[in-house]
Amino acid sequence: MKLYLVPTPIGNLSDMTYRAVNILNEVDLILAEDTRTSGKLLNHYEIKTPMLSYHMHNEHKIVEHVVSRIKNGETMALITDAGSPGISDPGFLITRKMIENGLEIIALPGATAFVPALVVSGLPCDKFIFEGFLPVKKGRQKRLEFLKGEKRTIVFYESPHKLLKTLADFKSHYGGESQISISREITKMFEEHYRGTVDGAMTHFETKKPKGEFVVSLSLQ
């Protein structure tokens, strides 16, 4: 009668913990963001536990059913395609429902992209805020303006086709000399880090097409 939130590797399969493997073997059901993606991970670790698709497009429809099954005695684990459930991925809704029903939730520590990107950025990391993905359209400029006086390092997630637009927005709101670190493909074969200014980053990624998933750490101080 509990739910485990289980982080999965963001690239390197060796980052899976022993405890995570054990939990996924022991639970009655695994809630997976994409059963095809998660199937590759489970096959790699010879985990035979059945899966149920649970993602942002169906979670509002099935969360009550899932919580009801847990209340009736099943133990489940939630995994996403990569990283920690709830961090820019499904996890918040079911966690809240579990709490409302007085049920136990256990979150395992493990892989997430923004922590390694931040600590190797060379920017202050004693205090920071995590913004995740910026709004695509509505509210984007308002959010950027709101962050203008932020004294802590700001951490964003960004996709390759929106990176240059985001950098242009940073220059417009914060100036081209603002310090930035951009990490791509954390833990993977082509892991890379750019450290410098917003202007320098724009020049770099205009000549080198952005590929992969990005974590952007920005200091306005």
pLDDT tens profile 199-220: 999 999 999 999 999 999 999 9
pLDDT value at residue 221 = 85
Supply φ then ψ for residue 148, to 5 degrees. Answer: -55, -40
Contact residues for 125 (Cβ-Cβ < 8 A; gap 6+)? 118, 119, 153
Domain with CATH 3.40.1010.10 in the chain: 2-107
CATH number of this structure's domain 114-219 = 3.30.950.10
- pLDDT > 70 fraction of the chain, expressed in percent and rounded: 100
Residue 174 has pLDDT above 90, yes or no: yes
Residue 184 has pLDDT above 90, yes or no: yes
Give the C-alpha separation, 180 to 219, whole Å. Answer: 6
Q: First and final CA of the chain: distance in angstroms?
A: 48
Residue 139 has pLDDT above 90, yes or no: yes
Averaged pLDDT of the chain: 96
Mean pLDDT, rounded, for 64-82: 97
Q: Are 9 and 187 in contact (CB under 8 A)?
A: yes
- Domain 2-107: CATH superfamily, name plus number: Tetrapyrrole methylase, N-terminal domain (3.40.1010.10)
- pLDDT > 90 fraction of the chain, expressed in percent and rounded: 96
pLDDT value at residue 157 = 97
> Which residue is it, tokens 């920071």?
128
> Which residue is it, tokens 């059913």?
65
Mean pLDDT, rounded, for 169-184: 97
